[in-house]
Structure 1
Amino acid sequence: MFSLRKELKKKDFETLDLFTISFSLFKANFINFIILSLICCLPLILTGIYFPISVFDPEKLKTIEDLANWFKNDVTVGFYINISLSLFLDTISIISVSLLVERLIYGNIKSATWAIIRSFKFLLPTLFTTFIYFILVFLGLTFFIVPGIAFIVFFVFIKNICALRHTWGINALKYSYYLVKPKFFKTLFILGFIFLFQKVFAMTLFPVSLENREGLLSYFIAMIVLYIFNTYFQIIITLFFLNRDYVSSNMIEDDEDDEYSKDNNDENNNKIEE
């Protein structure tokens, strides 16, 4: 993996390279990525079965009053349980994947247990940053839609930044924006592909009803497979972040070296003239 670390610093990977290299990383620590997926998805599957939530239909929620009525009449305790648990476990999953991928790039294979335990160190700063992110995205989607989508793209790296660069809050949002801005459409394409894949997968494999044993079994299997794919997509995002981070850092170092060399040359020329 040492050669991969050097390649990450040289240039921005093409989209296809991100997918293929991420798959190689996934295979290199396959067992631990699968264990991580199961640990994070099984509680969500069980709460989804025992505390089903009502379907969110945007077509019926066109005003603030409609949204308020939906919360009043259709939202149950299960909704809050599922949302809270999903936010917690998804954050743990992304932080853990980020830690495992970075270790893989440095040639170390770590366990899922190691990553999960270590992820709690960054949990609160990441949740705080995610809260700010949700507010911005909600406001963007509610009033303008396009800015909301732009916020989703620009701030895609915030959890990776909290976990791997120990930066959080507004600074994490700014740094994610800085990294994504030169590659906005590339990032949009990757996120769009992931979104479409998840939607097609859900429409194709998720059962229509959970009222019978076959439906429950199909739902259980489909959710596990979907979460394993989700872990793979998290590896792609993490690799993309590390690539942008290393390339941007190298560009800054090169600029500083050029300025330093220029200053030295100017000093030498002044001495010669004297």
Structure 2
Amino acid sequence: MSDSRTGADSRMSTTIDVTVPHPARVYDYLLGGRDHYPPDRTLGAAIIADVPDVQVAARANRAFLGRAVRCLVSEWGITQFLDIGTGIPTAGNTHEVAQALDPAARVVYVDHDPIVMVHARALLKGTPQGRTAFIHADLRDPESILTDPAFTANLDPARPVAIMLVAIMMYILDTDGPQAIVARLLDAVPAGSCVVITHLTGDANLRGVLRIVELGRRSGLEQCARNRAEFESLFAGTELVAPGIAPVSAWRSDLAGTTEVDRAGAADSALLWAGVGRKC
């Protein structure tokens, strides 16, 4: 039976601030969505003007999410997902991909942006056999996620869980303790679980990526790029699933689907690393 309960931490603000850009809304703009405001469009347009490949990277990142979910369901038998940094709903959400393969798949979404919470009803339309839920929480406080009733009610702690951290860890600065955050999430799930991460990197286009970071900082949006070694450190305690660390569009390109999202992300993008680690 579908469970569409929505968890919410009373400490989290539910006020939508449209005076400053927000990652979910800027990402939506880069993907060609409609749920953004003037500050989001201003920052997005400035980034595109300086680094045109960023739109290809955004689409490639979205296409990667679909391939990763297909891999986890079809090849590893994982049917439970904790998708943190959900973003604004668009085509190919995690539950849509997973439940197309296994209608009983369970997905819990997490985001700290109130506008994503407003769109939660769209996210929560899953199959009758599966479960979908939403938690309003911040990744910087993993305990608020792991102790939320929506987490404990919808994910079976005895079965493997895929922790989706797609294009979110770049907003977790070194001072936030990114490795400790990932480690805490992995501690809460059993062996056989996986963590899926993509991350902004300057390894191939340092000038462009530094410009993205600087433009964001000027607008009050803090993010960081990490090189391959720094990115790989986020997978501590796991075994990387083949093909290991790869540019986001190159990771398991054989699993590409046939939707517009999949086709749009087919072009190579070197702005993002991607990887999947399996807890042993």
Task: Name which one, 1 or 2, has greater alpha-carbon Rg.
Answer: 1
Q: Which is strand-richer, 1 or 2?
A: 2
TM-score after normalising by structure 2: 0.30
Q: Which is helix-richer, 1 or 2?
A: 1
Kindly indicate whether structure 1 or structure 2 has the higher relative contact order, using CA contacts under 8 Å at least 6 residues apart.
1
TM-score after normalising by structure 1: 0.30
